[in-house]
Structure 1
Amino acid sequence: MRTVRLGKVEVGAGSPKVIVPIVAATREGILAKGEELRNYAMDVVEWRVDFYDDVFDIPAVVETGKALRRVLGEVPILFTFRTKKEGGEKAIDPEAYTALNKAMAESGSVQAVDVEAFSGDEIVRENIANIHSAGAAVVGSNHDFGGTPDRADLLYRLRKIQELGADIPKLAVMANSRADVLVLLDATREMAEKYADRPIITMSMGPLGVITRIAGEEFGSSMTFGAVGQVSAPGQIPVEKLKDAMKILHDAL
């Protein structure tokens, strides 16, 4: 399995890397959160730009991204517009989504861009090509807030995202039962052991899925999400507690 470099962070090597989101609505709030995050042990910052009030003003987004880059120094940034249909704050048409992702990749301020992988193959491939041409990596994502599909469906989704050319396939599903958590973990294990030629990210959302955010190293997930203050998805753990729990597991392994 190949690894993926986001700046100095090598995804797929060692313990799962910890991502912390920024979900502020204003430029001032975004930069203040960036300053705060410099005091925490995390590997990557995800800028959830769908929370940003000026998100449809591309020059404003690019300038805020450059300012955030200066604040965070060498910490890699994952740029994410999570659409309404996949649990985000706002809807966006495909052309605007593509233009926004392209502009941010070309700005040089971010090391990776999230692309929702089931937005239509043509749109997805265009986004991936644009982002790769700009020298950034792609996290190809899919989110299901309704529940957990069966294992075969989960594997289909992860393999499809890989086939589309995303550098890091990501799958997040809602856990409504303990059985759902086991299905997600077993699908992750099978994907990592049999099909993945690159790092993957998986998680069960919600309180029942907390174990999946901690135990990725054992089952094959290469990154996880922690929180400093406001969360961007249900079930995220405060980053200090997440790091401690992951270290216990890592040392045992």
Structure 2
Amino acid sequence: MKTKTVQIRKLVLGEGRPKIAVPITGKNLLEVADQAQKIINQRPDMIEWRLDFFTDVTNSEKVQIGARTLRKIIGETALLLTFRTQAEGGRMALNEDDYFRIMGEVIRQKLGDALDLELYHDEHRLEETLEHAHKNGIVVIMSSHNFAKTPSKDKIIAKLSSMSSMGGDIAKVAVMPNSSDDVLTLLQATREAAAKLSQPVITMSMGELGKISRIAGETFGSVVSFAAGTQPSAPGQIELKHLRQILEDLKLN
């Protein structure tokens, strides 16, 4: 099955080389703006605002100010908003009500072009949030992160398939390798899921051992690679300028 493409502003995911997303990890509005200015000068394909790094994330007014400030700085560059919970490797713990309140506010105010939703949350509330996002024209990346190990190939594919079935526009899985065989497992699962699903997939094997997965997306089917800008948001992220050159050197067409 041919993977369909997903458009976020002018960015098209699912064709050509993997696109490069860079996280903003500022703790306050000043740091967010400063990082955005430094990163946008390096011309990433997409900016990810990691809300779990932002100390005032539960203050909706400050989140709105941050999003508006980012838009002024990044212009037409695609903006992905992510709150990564502690259970999935993030910086801040939130209960279910606060998590979905923040997600709902992001959607209602249309603060970004795309939204990351973690699969492990309450299924009914996820479905409601997905529907709400789509009604407001926001692309949803459904995600799952395992910082302890790499599940079997079949389990990885099943998780990506579950995200697809729920209606996620893009399915994302990140896992931690404990051996080179684990990296191969992730890459094989990526290749098979990319061939099977109609939605684009994003996958990565984290840490130093898994770095090769961040540069092999065009070969195996992962449509986005996350690069380090001013500060990495996950183990194994490659600096933006180096990642861009590597992806260029490895291009298939």
**Do both proteins adopt the same fold according to a TM-score greater than 0.5, normalized to the shorter chain?**
yes
Q: Report the Cα offset of residue 111 of structure 1.
A: 0.5
Partner of 1:39: 41
What letter corresponds to residue 192 of structure 2 in structure 1?
E
Partner of 1:113: 115
Q: Normalising by structure 1, what TM-score?
A: 0.97
- Percent identical: 38
Q: Which residue, out of 4, 26, 30, partners 2:28?
A: 26
CA distance in 1, matches of 2:124, 2:103: 15
Q: Is the partner of 2:77 in helix, strand or coil?
A: coil
Partner of 1:242: 243
Q: Which residue, out of 74, 89, 92, partners 2:91?
A: 89
Partner of 2:227: 226
Partner of 2:153: 151
Matched, 1:136 2:138: yes
CA distance in 2, matches of 1:130, 1:93: 20
Q: Is the partner of 1:192 in helix, strand or coil?
A: helix
Q: Normalising by structure 2, what TM-score?
A: 0.97
What letter corresponds to residue 71 of structure 1 in structure 2?
I
Q: Is the partner of 2:65 in helix, strand or coil?
A: helix
Partner of 1:76: 78
Q: Report the Cα offset of residue 41 of structure 1.
A: 2.7
Mark the runs of 5 or more structure 2 residues left unpaired by the alignment. none
Q: Which residue, out of 156, 165, 170, partners 2:172?
A: 170
Q: Report the Cα offset of residue 138 of structure 1.
A: 0.3
Contact 1:62–1:103 (Cα < 8 Å) also in 2 = no
Contact 1:51–1:89 (Cα < 8 Å) also in 2 = yes
Deviations 1:70-101 (A, max 9, x none): 11111111000000100001111222211211
CA distance in 1, matches of 2:52, 2:128: 20
What letter corresponds to residue 169 of structure 2 in structure 1?
D
Contact 1:118–1:124 (Cα < 8 Å) also in 2 = no
Partner of 1:58: 60
Partner of 2:211: 210
Q: Is the partner of 1:20 in helix, strand or coil?
A: strand
What letter corresponds to residue 77 of structure 2 in structure 1?
V
CA distance in 2, matches of 1:65, 1:170: 23
Q: CA RMSD in A?
A: 1.0
CA distance in 1, matches of 2:33, 2:149: 34
Q: Report the Cα offset of residue 217 of structure 1.
A: 0.5
Runs of 4+ in structure 1 off by over 6 angstroms are none
Contact 2:39–2:230 (Cα < 8 Å) also in 1 = no
